[in-house]
Structure 1
Amino acid sequence: MPPKSTVSLRRRRLGTELRKLRDAKGLRLEDVAEHVGWNKAKLSRIELARVGLRRHDLHSLLDLYEADAATRAALDALVLDGTERRWWMRYADLISVAYQEFIAYEAEASHIQDVNFSIIPGLLQSPDYARAVITAGPFITDPDDVDGLVLVRGRRQAVLTDEAPVRLTAVVPEAALHQHVGGAAVLRGQLAHLLERAELPNVSLSVLPFAATGGAYVGGVTLFHFAQTGDPSMVFLEYQGGTTLLDTDREISRYQRLFDHVLRQTLSEDDSFRLIEQRRKTL
């Protein structure tokens, strides 16, 4: 049975392994492209996980690279049939390709580090708060889409409570505890939801206080880390209107330093819990 992983991750693994096999044979992109009858750009896109690969074409490459039986079986399992989908594909008419990719990595990650300097992170939002955030944005053009977008955000949160839950390290700005997104009642419910999520053993939640100097960044930063050593970490930057994916070692290190810098200035988890509870009671 193929491994349970997302389209994007399978492509990354497959591209990485094919590049390693090519390098081991001392072949250039031009050499391989000429042998299999492709252009150089196509092979490059496959190795960079920009496009998928048919099983027949994979076997042509593995023949050229003289891959052993174990390698063939492992890489063959990474080739997706065209009909395979994930739950979020049902909402492809509502969510952008970038958002689909974000959800795909989120679903596969073993550890997520998430900080948003303006609002509660999506994995910790209550349905009412999520609805208020979605409808407050200037990029929602069709009110009929709102219910679906709220549902997508709720379904994403299953990664926190399924049989093998992801480990989440989340930083919440103190300002988000005071901003009446959706009104006082919605915020009160959100803070109660936040306290409930903080009780999960796989969730580490801390508050970045007003007095901290680490909150100058505007937007959100999410780092995805994966259990398999062959899957390098990924960074998603969230800003008004979209997200940007970063995957180079330099960029990952840069934003890991940012997250660590912010985390050092947060309140402890216990103090954060007490602050959230105190704020909830005043609403």
Structure 2
Amino acid sequence: MGQAVQTMPRRLLGSELRRLRQAAGKTLDDAAGSIGKDRSQLIKVEDGRATLTAATLGQLLTHYGASTQDRKRILAMGVEARKRQPKRAYVDLLPGANSRIADLEAAANVISYYDRGVIPGLLQIPEYTEAQMVAGDGVWWETSYQERANRVAFRLERQKLPEDKPLLFIFTDDALLTRYGGDQVMRRQIEHLLRAAARPHTTLLLLDSRHPANPCPTGALVLLEFAARTPRVGLLTAAYGPSTYLDEPADTEAIARCFRRLQELAFSAEESRSRLEAALEAT
């Protein structure tokens, strides 16, 4: 097992292996012993600080009882993890990319989330999400009720974060004008936003969609911050196709500056709450 720089492919592989180990009910000692390593070495692999040879990775997957599909996918991730990574950005093109985003969100100590014209996914109620998925049905994937249901379930699963995890949400106020699911759904969605805003570790800020100084006038932006020496991760999400990860300090610092500017431009938490209450009365 080689010592490695903590790149995004290695971090994503490590999170997949951790999830698979936990699903199999295996301890770190059991898993490490199955491949002739010690606990500390496997911890480095799960943290993205070390790699495994193809043969050793295959042996570990056998110990976990990985399905044929998972085995193929994770072995492909192992190939990516062992490559040198000359590019600053990493685009996760392998199957299961969405689940790896959820893993990173679960591992992060702090999450900052910006979106324009839509309620951020981590704050959506099921009916709002379903209406969004209906809009994309037959466009981004073949028309399928099961596909929509799976996407809704996955988004709701991502929302199961500890209540004491610091969360910052900034989104433009025109998101309150689009009636996904109709007026009643939007009313329940705004009520949900008000409850979220009242949580002690959640900050919810509205931003004027017409503000000329907005440094991020299109798209969504996510910044994930972790404990200890683990570098921050910036995530550029897309409506279709894979998301782009950035973990170079120069890039994540630029994203952090963007969030600081967005906070300066946004309405205060109190004003944002007042505007949500006014929007609720108007529905």
Q: TM-score, normalised by structure 1?
A: 0.69
CA distance in 1, matches of 2:99, 2:187: 30
CA contact (8 A) 1:160 1:202 kept: no
CA distance in 1, matches of 2:98, 2:260: 25
Partner of 1:273: 273
CA distance in 2, matches of 1:126, 1:50: 28
Partner of 2:180: 181
Q: Per the alignment, in what secondary structure is the counterpart of residue 158 of structure 1?
A: coil
Partner of 2:50: none
Q: Is the aligned partner of 1:74 residue 2:40?
A: yes
Amino acid at match of 1:220: A
Q: Per the alignment, in what secondary structure is the counterpart of residue 261 of structure 2?
A: helix
Amino acid at match of 1:152: F
CA distance in 2, matches of 1:46, 1:110: 17
User: How many aligned positions are there?
Assistant: 223
Quote the offset at 1:210 in angstroms.
3.3
Quote the offset at 1:76 in angstroms.
3.3
Map Cα deviations across residues 44-72 of structure 1 (whole Å, 9 max, x no partner).
98995576699589978xxxxxxxxxxx6
Q: Name whichever of 111-120 and 146-155 sits farther off.
A: 146-155
Quote the offset at 1:97 in angstroms.
2.4
CA contact (8 A) 2:112 2:224 kept: yes
Partner of 2:159: 157
Partner of 1:244: 244
CA distance in 2, matches of 1:232, 1:56: 29
Alignment of 1:45-56 (within 5 A): 48-49=10-11, 55=32
Partner of 1:263: 263
Q: Is the aligned partner of 1:109 residue 2:108?
A: yes
CA contact (8 A) 1:111 1:225 kept: yes
RMSD: 3.3
Map Cα deviations across residues 176-196 of structure 1 (whole Å, 9 max, x no partner).
011112222221111111111
After superposition, the Cα gap between the structure-2 partners of 1:46 and 1:209, relative to the gap in structure 1 and judged at 3 Å, is closer
Unaligned runs of 5+ in 2: 18-30, 47-59, 74-93
CA contact (8 A) 1:118 1:218 kept: no
Q: TM-score, normalised by structure 2?
A: 0.69
CA distance in 2, matches of 1:46, 1:206: 30
